């Protein structure tokens, strides 16, 4: 049966979703959570990949099923299932298309004199999916070492199914593994747990360091719970939580923060049914210049002015108390808590990804970046994708992305995607000052791009900071002839590099900030879907970076971080981590939410990789060995 008919394809995608999340329904397309992990793509799917028209039909079919408008939203009785919207669906059709990749010659293993390469964070319970989201957290406990936050969106807290849990892990200097089960218990000195509030909230779906939001000198955190329902109904309104930094290991209960009576932080309550607020969250720096760090929350399912799933994002200003913030007030433009960023066109899904961007235009205020992965820059419904840099400002006036698109606005600039079905803006991040010109830069992921014809190899784009509102064309960056940035070209068919991206700080100590890009479907050393991360060193020119060269370990552009086990999908999430071990080099964290530590299916793992100055690959298998020292 041709793939264009959709039946074989949709069956496979449904099976993958079931295997991933334990989703069981009463349809004939069901596979339980204990079913075979990532069964190989059917012969029908594999055969179709040799035919370009059928590959396009495959994408279109999957997207119409999982990425369409309101009709694509599940209405199952379980509240979390409404969360299965365009965002996750886009990523999952890549699973259906992914064959076993070609074997990559193993690079020489990095040896770091006098210390460990990093350490592993082992998930606690089956199907927790720890590492689904990861982020550097700043110095949460004030000990001088940077800390981390890891989301486990599938965790069941106190018997609440899929309430989700996040873990703050304190920085440390050695390579001993961290057991999230011990942190959960509240008896460990290595961090503290943040326990979800309600069934199917999926707190930890997105996590980020938040900077110092309340001005107490400790860095804070933000956790997204995109499945939360602030009206008590099955409506996926979404909620986010700011958790204040603290020095102890006592667990934080999000149900207390929700009430507004505690001292641990404050809730940010979503506004509308199916908005999915908290789908993406990030610290934003000091956007309004009041001395407190601010936040950005994405609601990719929102319908500004009736534009279905155009999406919204909200900048929430820092504050010192625990009273909840209502996104409805921010939307109205009459409150003092922040401002709204309204998506431009139907099905753009702006807010699919969000991040602080640093000071991109050099005006002294921090800026933000918003990804609209469903945008169509050429008019037809082709999912090219677009991203928007929004400049910091002192007022609460709404920002209209339609005005930024035009190039005449003073509110920021657009970054226009390149090719049909690239989904540029799937991931976005501030990148620091990559080229050393004094302006902060950004990085954008396009995980379904086809560099040099490599199908779904994926791309990342570093876009240099600038002071004007003229749009940036990723087509010009791809060519390597422009001055706006450089492309990072994926290595192998189906790698999906750019599924996750992040600024990494200065990993190699050369004075230029670096970036990290995840390729969760890569097959290092022939390990199917083991995944990779790539650290790409900062540089001043616009020449493209080839991840294939970085893989080899012989280039000077960065280093590869090779996944450990079949189907782990390391690189599903990546982030800069700050200086976790206090050696003066910035570190990174890589999430592998499908890993099975100690045989716990899908408990998930994350890996902290310490900064280093050379291009030799890092093998995550080495970090898994307790206390690895070369």
With beta carbons less than 8 A apart as the criterion, state whether 244 and 218 touch. Answer: yes
Residue 80, SS3 per DSSP:
helix
CA–CA gap between residue 151 and residue 166 (Å, rounded)? 4
Give me 520's structure tokens. Answer: 């969760």
Instruction: Report the mean per-residue pLDDT for the chain.
Output: 85
| pLDDT at res. 230 | 75
With beta carbons less than 8 A apart as the criterion, state whether 254 and 194 touch. Answer: yes
* pLDDT higher than threshold 90 for residue 62: no
Q: How confident is the model at residue 56 (pLDDT cuts 50, 70, 90)?
A: low
- The CA dihedral of 43, 49, 55, 61, to the nearest 10 degrees, is 20
Q: Which has the minimum average pLDDT: 64-78, 283-297, 465-479, 545-559?
A: 64-78
Condensed to tens digits (0 to 9), the pLDDT of residues 596-612 reads 999 999 999 999 999 99
Q: What stretches of 333-412 show up as alpha helix (H) in DSSP? A: 401-406
Q: What stretches of 333-395 show up as alpha helix (H) in DSSP? A: none
* pLDDT higher than threshold 90 for residue 429: yes
Condensed to tens digits (0 to 9), the pLDDT of residues 327-357 reads 999 999 887 899 999 999 999 999 999 999 9
Residue 42 vs residue 290, higher pLDDT: 290
List all residues 6 or more positions away from 332 whose beta carbon is below 8 Å from its beta carbon.
none
Q: Give ∠ CA 602-105-453 in degrees, rounded to 5.
A: 85
| pLDDT at res. 381 | 66
**What does each C-alpha distance from 73 to 68, 166, 300 come to in angstroms?**
8, 26, 13
| pLDDT at res. 571 | 99
| pLDDT at res. 51 | 52
| pLDDT at res. 482 | 78
Residue 593: CA count within 13 A, CB half-sphere: 26
| pLDDT at res. 234 | 64
With beta carbons less than 8 A apart as the criterion, state whether 519 and 533 touch. Answer: yes
pTM metric for this prediction: 0.86
CA–CA gap between residue 24 and residue 17 (Å, rounded)? 9
Distance of CA 292 to the CA centre of its chain: 24
* pLDDT higher than threshold 70 for residue 466: yes
| pLDDT at res. 491 | 98
CA–CA gap between residue 83 and residue 270 (Å, rounded)? 14
What percentage of the chain carries pLDDT values higher than 70?
Answer: 80
Condensed to tens digits (0 to 9), the pLDDT of residues 487-502 reads 999 999 999 999 999 9
Question: For the sheet containing 191-195, what is the strand order?
Answer: 130-138, 147-152, 165-169, 191-195, 252-253
Residue 594, SS3 per DSSP:
coil
With beta carbons less than 8 A apart as the criterion, state whether 228 and 297 touch. Answer: no
Condensed to tens digits (0 to 9), the pLDDT of residues 550-600 reads 999 987 999 999 999 999 999 999 999 999 999 999 999 999 999 999 999
* pLDDT higher than threshold 90 for residue 40: no
Mean pLDDT of the 294-302 span: 99
* pLDDT higher than threshold 60 for residue 65: no
Q: How confident is the model at residue 626 (pLDDT cuts 50, 70, 90)?
A: low
Residue 441: CA count within 13 A, CB half-sphere: 29
Condensed to tens digits (0 to 9), the pLDDT of residues 513-541 reads 999 999 999 999 999 999 999 999 999 99
CA–CA gap between residue 620 and residue 571 (Å, rounded)? 11
- Residue with tokens 């206090």, as numbered in its chain: 582
| pLDDT at res. 57 | 52
3-class SS shares of the chain: helix, strand, coil, % to 5: 20, 30, 55
Question: Quick one: 114 exposed, middle or buried, by C-beta within 10 A (0-12, 13-18, 19+)?
Answer: exposed
| pLDDT at res. 630 | 37
Angle between helices 7-21 and 52-66 (to 10 degrees): 50
Residue 338, SS3 per DSSP:
strand
CA–CA gap between residue 315 and residue 4 (Å, rounded)? 41
CB atoms within 10 A of CB 333: 12
**Nearest Cα to 533, choosing from 485, 498, 584?**
498
List all residues 6 or more positions away from 625 whose beta carbon is below 8 Å from its beta carbon.
none
| pLDDT at res. 382 | 86
Distance of CA 189 to the CA centre of its chain: 27
* pLDDT higher than threshold 90 for residue 217: yes
Mean pLDDT of the 31-58 span: 39
Q: Give ∠ CA 527-502-281 in degrees, rounded to 5.
A: 110
With beta carbons less than 8 A apart as the criterion, state whether 201 and 230 touch. Answer: no
| pLDDT at res. 63 | 42
| pLDDT at res. 188 | 87
CA–CA gap between residue 318 and residue 221 (Å, rounded)? 12
| pLDDT at res. 20 | 37
CATH of 118-624, one of 2.102.10.10, 2.130.10.130, 3.10.450.50, 3.40.50.880: 2.130.10.130
Instruction: State which H helix or E strand residue 119 sits in.
Output: strand 118-122
Q: How confident is the model at residue 625 (pLDDT cuts 50, 70, 90)?
A: confident
CA–CA gap between residue 289 and residue 270 (Å, rounded)? 25
CA–CA gap between residue 89 and residue 93 (Å, rounded)? 6
CA–CA gap between residue 484 and residue 487 (Å, rounded)? 10
């Amino acid at each position: 049966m041709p793939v264009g008919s959709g039946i074989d394809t949709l069956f496979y995608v449904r099976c993958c979703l079931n295997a991933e999340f334990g989703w069981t329904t009463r349809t004939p397309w069901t596979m339980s959570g204990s079913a075979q992990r990532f069964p190989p793509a059917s012969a029908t799917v594999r055969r179709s990949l040799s035919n370009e028209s059928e590959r396009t039909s495959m994408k279109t079919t999957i997207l119409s099923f999982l990425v369409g408008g309101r009709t694509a939203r599940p209405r199952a009785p379980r509240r979390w299932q409404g969360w299965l919207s365009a965002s996750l669906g886009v990523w999952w059709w890549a699973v259906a298309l992914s064959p076993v990749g070609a074997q990559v010659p193993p690079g020489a293993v990095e040896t770091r004199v006098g210390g460990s390469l990093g350490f592993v964070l082992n998930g606690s319970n089956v199907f927790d999916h720890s590492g689904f989201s990861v982020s550097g957290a700043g110095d949460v406990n004030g000990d001088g070492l940077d800390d981390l936050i890891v989301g486990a969106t599938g965790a069941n807290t106190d018997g609440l199914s899929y309430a989700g849990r996040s873990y703050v892990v304190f920085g440390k200097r050695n390579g001993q593994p961290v057991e999230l089960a011990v942190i959960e218990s509240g008896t460990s000195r290595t961090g503290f747990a943040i326990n979800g509030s309600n069934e199917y909230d999926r707190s930890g779906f997105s996590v980020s360091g938040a900077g110092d939001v309340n001005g107490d000198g400790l860095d804070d955190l933000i956790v997204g719970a995109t499945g939360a329902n602030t009206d008590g109904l099955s409506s996926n309104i979404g909620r986010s939580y700011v958790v204040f930094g603290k020095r102890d290991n006592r667990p934080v209960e999000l149900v207390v923060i929700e009430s507004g009576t505690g001292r641990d932080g404050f809730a940010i309550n979503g506004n509308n049914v199916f908005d999915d607020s908290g789908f993406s969250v990030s610290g934003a720096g000091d956007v309004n210049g009041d001395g407190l760090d601010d936040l950005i929350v994405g609601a990719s399912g929102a319908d500004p002015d009736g534009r279905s799933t155009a999406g919204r994002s909200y900048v929430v200003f820092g504050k010192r108390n625990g009273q909840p913030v209502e996104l409805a007030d921010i939307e109205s433009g009459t409150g003092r808590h922040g401002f709204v960023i309204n998506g431009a066109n139907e099905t753009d899904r702006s807010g699919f990804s969000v991040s602080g961007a640093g000071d991109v235009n050099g005006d002294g205020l921090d800026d933000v970046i918003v990804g609209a992965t469903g945008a169509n820059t050429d008019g037809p419904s082709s999912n090219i994708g677009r991203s928007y840099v929004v400049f910091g400002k002192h007022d609460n006036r709404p920002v209209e992305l339609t005005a930024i698109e035009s190039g005449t606005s003073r509110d920021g600039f657009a970054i226009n995607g390149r090719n049909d079905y690239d989904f540029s803006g799937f991931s976005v991040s501030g990148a620091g000052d990559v080229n050393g010109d004094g302006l902060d830069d950004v990085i954008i992921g396009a995980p379904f791009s086809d560099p040099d014809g490599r199908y779904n190899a994926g791309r990342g784009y570093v876009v240099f900071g600038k002071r004007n509102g003229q749009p940036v064309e990723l087509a010009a960056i791809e060519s390597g002839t422009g001055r706006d940035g450089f492309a990072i070209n994926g290595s192998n068919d189906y790698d999906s590099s750019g599924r996750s991206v992040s600024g990494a700080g200065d990993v190699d100590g050369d004075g230029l900030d670096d970036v990290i890009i995840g390729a969760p479907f890569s097959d290092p050393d022939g390990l199917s879907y083991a995944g990779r991360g790539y650290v790409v060193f900062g540089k001043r020119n616009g020449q493209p970076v080839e991840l294939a060269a970085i893989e080899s370990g012989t280039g000077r552009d960065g280093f590869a971080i090779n996944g450990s086990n079949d189907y782990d999908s390391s690189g599903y999430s990546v982030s800069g981590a700050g200086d976790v071990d206090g050696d003066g080099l910035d570190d990174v964290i890589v999430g592998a939410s499908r890993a099975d530590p100690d045989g716990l299916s899908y408990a998930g793992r994350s890996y902290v990789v310490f900064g280093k100055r050379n291009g030799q690959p890092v093998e995550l298998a080495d970090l898994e060995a307790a206390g690895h020292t070369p």
